[in-house]
Structure formats: C-alpha cells, structure tokens
Amino acid sequence: MKALIYDGPETLEFRDAPDPVPQDGELLIRVEACGICGSDMHAYLGHDERRPAPLILGHEAAGTISGGERDAERVTINPLVTCGTCADCVSGRGNLCANRQIISMPPREGAFAQWLSIPETNVIKIPDHVSFEKAALAEPIACGWHASRLATSLVSTHGASALVIGGGAIGLGSALSLANFGVKDTVILEPNADRRAIVEQAGEHRAIEPDQLDPNGQFDIVIDAVGYSSSRALACQYARPGGVIMHIGLGEASGGIDPRRLTLQEITFMGTYTYTPEDFQNTAAAIFNGDLGSLDWIEMRDLKDGAAAFSDLRAHKVASPKIILAP
C-alpha cells in the first residue's frame, strides 16, 4: 500500500509500506479520510518521543470495511485500543487503561495510509447521509465532548459562561460540545483572523482575538485546547472562583499554572485525556444527528500531498480548523 511515512523531524515521504494484517477480532479498513491532529504535528516536529521514526502517523480516521460479513460498510474509527478487562475499562474509563494503545503510536501504525487494521469493537457505522470527512471529525470533537462533559459535571450550566482557548478542531469541538451540554455563552479565543472568521460561523459562540478579552472578565469554565505556558496562565487568570479549568492541549510540558490562585479561589484544574468509549459513541451520534452544526470547516487535501499540508500548518498558512487527507 501507499502511506505517508514520518522519517524524522519535518520529514515525511509518500511511499510504499507493508499492507496491514488484521489479527483475530480485527477488521481491514480502506481509509477514506484522516485528519491531521496537533499530536501529529508534535511528532512531525520531533517533539513526541512516543512516536519514533519511521512511523505512519494519523488517527482521526474513517473508511470502508473490506471483507467479512461487514464488507463495504462505512465506519468511523475510535483509535484507542484498550484491554476491555481492567478496572478502568470495566468502569467505562477505557481512556485510562494502563494497556491502551492508539493507532499512530507503536506498536500500531497510523491511518495516513490506504489501509488500516483495527478491532471490530472500535468502529461505528456511518449513516449514508454523512460524508467520510465529517465522520472523521468524531475523534477530535470527542476530545472536546469528554472535557465538556466533565466540566459540566463540576459546575452548574445555569447561566454558565465558558472561555475556550484555541480555535482549532479541539477548541471548536469543545465549544460545540459545551452548547450540547447546556452552556450557551461561550467565547473562543483565536489569534488567527482568517481562522477566527471561520470559527465564528460554525456555531452560536463568539470568536475573538486575545486583545479583545476583558482584563476583568471571568468564566465558569475555561478549556485550554492549546496547552502552552501562556495559555495555562490565561486559564488561571480568567477562571471564576469556584470555576473549572479543563486542560486538553499538550503543546508544552510545564509552566503557566498559578497554584496560589487555584487554591485560594477553589478553582478545579483537571487534565483530560481523549475520551471514553461512550463519549466517542455520543460524539459520533451528535455528528450523525446534526447536533454539532454543518461541520463545513474542513479543508480536504490528497494524502500524496500530505508533506506539503504539514509544512503549511508549520508555517501557519492554514485557516481551516482541520485539514483532512484523503488517500
């Protein structure tokens, strides 16, 4: 098969790779769409030791089953493969499974390829009216859905306000998810003017540039979809006393947290990792039902041109919150 292979920092090549061989209980999927995630960019820049070269990246995927009883069925893919038997899995928190694997991280190759193997339990059927590219958004939006569910379990949604830092797919997905959980007053902070214009049209939230933030403003919920020292500092500054900060982004490993303010104002700071199986299922259902809007903020490119897409993202030349590659 052909695949986009990561060979080292800022080096990708579209070339031949071994075809995947499904194991017991797995399906062979012809990949139809796969989004570029921030974690793919971290690996591309050489900042993710969990993803050593050479490796096929990509985990936000949808495709078509090849062979077996479900041949030709269109599916979206949950890339988190868990044991299903540990205490976390049994309690519904499979995202915390100590034995979890994710495609695009050894030992599992990713989905920037023509073919992928994945356990049958990790796929959800796509209705005929939903495109592959929109179905592939289930993975990034599920991260925001998970954070929104946890946040709204900690604070009342009655009259609640939210600040989302970052207008990429994770941040935008968080804002759309918050609306589904009853938070109607949400502001997305996005410095890129072109992206901000796209994000503004994607839902009932507002999108503003950093200079427009009221220095005295405070929010019941702050979601950091960026994860840098500067964004964590903003989150700590703008969280209301008794509020909650949900930390999704993994841009930078340290700095920015104000433990004194968190302590004195009883602000909850919670890291959120991906999503539970139920979160993923509910996100997919929300996409299929149209509950998250038109989802027309995607830019499509060919997989063979994937290296250029990564380079454009690196150079901040992309306005769309999500680039999706099609083999």
pLDDT, tens only, 214-225:
999 999 999 999
Domain borders along the chain are: 2-137+295-326, 142-271
Mean pLDDT of the chain: 97
Give the containing element (helix H, strand E) for 220.
strand 219-224
**Cis amide bond preceding 54, omega within 30:** yes
CATH topology for 142-271 is Rossmann fold (3.40.50)
Q: Of 15, 231, 47, 261, nearest to 114 (Cα)?
A: 15
pLDDT, tens only, 266-281:
999 999 999 999 999 9
pLDDT, tens only, 4-49:
999 999 999 999 999 999 999 999 999 999 999 999 999 999 999 9
CATH topology for 2-137+295-326 is Quinone Oxidoreductase; Chain A, domain 1 (3.90.180)
| pLDDT higher than 90, residue 251 | no
CA distance 267 to 211: 24
Q: Are strands 206-208 and 185-189 parallel, antiparallel or unpaired?
A: parallel
Percentage of residues in the chain with pLDDT exceeding 70? 100
pLDDT, tens only, 124-160:
999 999 999 999 999 999 999 999 999 999 999 999 9
The model's pTM: 0.97
| Burial of 259 from C-beta contacts in 10 A (0-12 / 13-18 / 19+) | exposed
pLDDT (0 to 100) of residue 121: 97
Structure tokens at 189: 């902070």
Q: In 3-state terms, what secondary structure has residue 28?
A: strand
What pLDDT band is residue 252 in, cutting at 50, 70 and 90?
A: confident
pLDDT (0 to 100) of residue 253: 85
